[in-house]
Amino acid sequence: AQSVTQLGSHVSVSEGALVLLRCNYSSSVPPYLFWYVQYPNQGLQLLLKYTSAATLVKGINGFEAEFKKSETSFHLTKPSAHMSDAAEYFCAVSDRDTGRRALTFGSGTRLQVQP
Amino acid sequence: SQTIHQWPATLVQPVGSPLSLECTVEGTSNPNLYWYRQAAGRGLQLLFYSVGIGQISSEVPQNLSASRPQDRQFILSSKKLLLSDSGFYLCAWRKTGGGLGYTFGSGTRLTVV
C-alpha cells in the first residue's frame, strides 16, 4: 500500500524567505507524486506533479519540487515566500491501478507567512 | 472547458438526519469520479470512487453511501448522520484513460450537531 508522510503540520516563514515543505512517500513501485494547495473553504488546486520524467518539477506560483528516489522524498520549495502563499499544502501519491487511480494524501502542512 | 460543481457549500445537520451531497461534471463524458473527506486537522481520505454509471467502489466502512445515477452525476448520501460525519467533503473527477489530471470541486463543509 502507498502512503505519504508530511513532516510538520505547521510551518511559519517570513515574507521573502525560503519555503520548504517536506514530503516522504512509501510505494512498492515508482509512484506518481503531486502537490496541491488548498485555500480556506476551497477545493484543491494542483501545484505540480511528477510522472517519471524530469526529477525537478516546476509548478505554478514559483513552486518546484524534486523527486529523490534514494530518499523517497518529494519536497516542495519556493525561493521567496509571498503573503498570498499562506494556505494548506498537501502531498499526494497516485496508485497505478488504471481503473481506480485514486490519490493518497498526506495529512497536510499549513503554511503561515509572516510580514 | 470542463467544470465541476458541488453543492451545497455549507451544511449544518442534526444527528440522525439524512444527507445528500451532489456533484456534477460538465464538458466531459465517462469521467472517473471520487468522493474525499477531510476531517478537522487531518488529510483527505478517499471514501468512494466510480468508473461508470451505477459502478461504486467503497474504500472504507462507514455510515455513508454513494450513487452515480447519471454519467456526470455523483451523489453522497446518508440515512442517519453521526457526529463523526462532520468534515469537508470534496468531489473530484479524472478523465478515463486520460492520465493523471484530477480536478476538485470547491467542497462542502458539513457540520453535524
- Give the pLDDT confidence score for residue A31 in this predicted structure: 82
Which residues of chain B have a CB within 8 Å of the CB of A90? 43-44
Total residue length of chain B: 113
Q: Which residue in B55, B28, B100, B79 sits closest to A52, CA to CA?
A: B100
DSSP β-ladder status, A73-78 and A19-21:
antiparallel
The average pLDDT across B14-34 equals: 94
Q: Do A42 and B102 touch (CB under 8 A)?
A: no
Question: CA B39 to CA B48: how far, in whole Å?
Answer: 16
Which residues make beta-bridge pairs with A49? Answer: A34
- Give the pLDDT confidence score for residue A91 in this predicted structure: 95
Which residues of chain B have a CB within 8 Å of the CB of A101? 32, 94, 100
Which chain B residue shows the shortest CA-CA distance from A33? B100
Q: If you ran DSSP here, which 8-state letter would residue A41 be given?
A: T
Q: Do A108 and B42 touch (CB under 8 A)?
A: yes
What SS3 class is residue A68? Answer: strand
Q: Could you tell me how many CB contacts below 8 A there are between chain A and chain B?
A: 59
Q: pLDDT band at residue B64, thresholds of 50, 70 and 90?
A: very high
Question: CA A28 to CA A90: how far, in whole Å?
Answer: 21
- Give the pLDDT confidence score for residue B42 in this predicted structure: 73
DSSP B36-53: EEE-TTS-EEEEEEEEET
The average pLDDT across B5-14 equals: 94
- Give the pLDDT confidence score for residue A98 in this predicted structure: 63
DSSP B10-23: EEEE-TT--EEEEE
At A46-62, the pLDDT tens digits run 999 998 778 899 999 99
DSSP β-ladder status, A10-14 and A109-114:
parallel
Q: pLDDT band at residue B98, thresholds of 50, 70 and 90?
A: low
Question: CA A85 to CA A6: how far, in whole Å?
Answer: 18
- Give the pLDDT confidence score for residue B53 in this predicted structure: 95
Residues of chain A with pLDDT under 70: 96-99
The average pLDDT across B56-68 equals: 90
Q: If you ran DSSP here, which 8-state letter would residue A17 be given?
A: S
- Give the pLDDT confidence score for residue A53 in this predicted structure: 75
C-alpha cell at A110: 499549513
- Interface list for chain A against chain B, based on CB atoms closer than 8 Å: 6, 9, 32, 34, 36, 41-46, 49, 51, 90, 94, 98-108
Which chain A residue shows the shortest CA-CA distance from B93? A102
Which residues of chain A have a CB within 8 Å of the CB of B57? 100
